[in-house]
Chain A
Amino acid sequence: MATICPPPPASAAQFILLETPLSSKVQSQERRELALLTQKIRQNLSEIRQFLEISGETDEINYSSVPPQRSFIVKVRYQYQEPGEPLPYEIDQE
């Protein structure tokens, strides 16, 4: 049967996330296990948040290059000359 409950106190979530198994408040075995679990959840949430932040930043942004100021067609005559040769490559003597 559904019941209407008051909202949890605002500090509750923060308390759960900030509690660590090494805290002096954690005395019982159950509370220690709960703290370990919440710590693991916190780590997972942190990793998810980091992933979402990174993926949000690296979303590919599409844009189009600006078209030319003007275009026209010219007749070009090709004439074979000779095979090209590489430029001389000087190696610095250090």
Chain B
Amino acid sequence: MTTEPFWLQINESNLRQGDYLPRCLVPTFAPAIEGQTEVQDVRVDEFDLIILTQSCDLENKKVRLVAMSSIYPLSTFEKTNPAFANKGKRNDLRRGKIEGLHLLASPTKPDENMEALLVDFREIYRFSRSQTHVGTGK
């Protein structure tokens, strides 16, 4: 049995809910800014992200900020969390029983469960629409 592709590769400027955006740069700014101008060191992390904001809100420009969550391969998640590297926990993930985590099929190998991607709803970032376009090259 073959699995129909869950993902579709596109090349356009419109952002939609569910867009998978690899290698996004996420800055973490200092907690406070003093004065009118200031130079600070800012840490920048690179994550693969997926858009959470509803497509209609993005299309109709109802939102200024675009919400995104981290998404990473299941195998990478299991390296960080070895307690999840067993059949029982993978089944819990597949059934959606682990709060905050959601499993999606792999864009390249949808038939292989171990290649699946995991959305981490504990890690949510918001960027302006222009930042999202610049950061993702869209």
Q: A61-B98, A68-B45, A68-B47 are in contact. Are A76 and B29 (CB under 8 A)?
A: yes
How far apart sit A1 and B9, CA to CA, in the bound complex (Å)? 81
Decide if A65 touches B37 in the complex (CB within 8 Å). no
Among the interface residues A57, A65, A80, which one has the most CB atoms of the partner chain B within 10 A?
A: A65
Let me know if A71 and B44 touch, CB within 8 A: yes
- The 9 lowest CB-CB distance pairs between A and B, nearest first, are A68-B45, A76-B42, A80-B36, A69-B46, A63-B81, A78-B38, A66-B72, A70-B46, A77-B39
For the complex with contacts A68-B47, A78-B39, 20 further pairs of A-B residues with Cβ separation under 8 Å are: A63-B77, A63-B80, A65-B70, A65-B80, A66-B72, A66-B76, A69-B47, A71-B44, A71-B45, A71-B46, A72-B44, A73-B43, A74-B42, A76-B29, A76-B39, A76-B42, A78-B33, A78-B37, A79-B36, A87-B64
22 contacts between A and B (CB under 8 A): A57-B97, A61-B98, A63-B83, A64-B80, A66-B72, A66-B80, A68-B26, A68-B45, A68-B47, A69-B46, A70-B45, A70-B46, A73-B41, A73-B43, A74-B41, A75-B39, A75-B42, A76-B29, A77-B37, A77-B39, A78-B37, A87-B62
Give the shortest distance, in Å, between B26 (CB) and chain A (any CB). 7
For the complex, what is the distance from the CA of A87 to the CA of B23, rounded to whole Å? 30
Closest B residue to A73 by CB, please name it: B41
How large, as a class, is the contact surface on chain B?
35 or more
- Hey, what's the 0/1 contact readout for B121-138 against A, CB within 8 Å counting as 1? 011000000000000000
**A9 lies within 8 A of chain B by Cβ:** no
Within 8 A of B (CB), among A14-72: 57, 61, 63-72
User: In the complex, what residue of chain A is closest to B63 when comparing beta carbons?
Assistant: A87
Enumerate chain A residues within 8 angstroms of B63, measured Cβ to Cβ.
87
The interface residues of chain A lying within 8 Å CB-to-CB of B36 are: 79-80
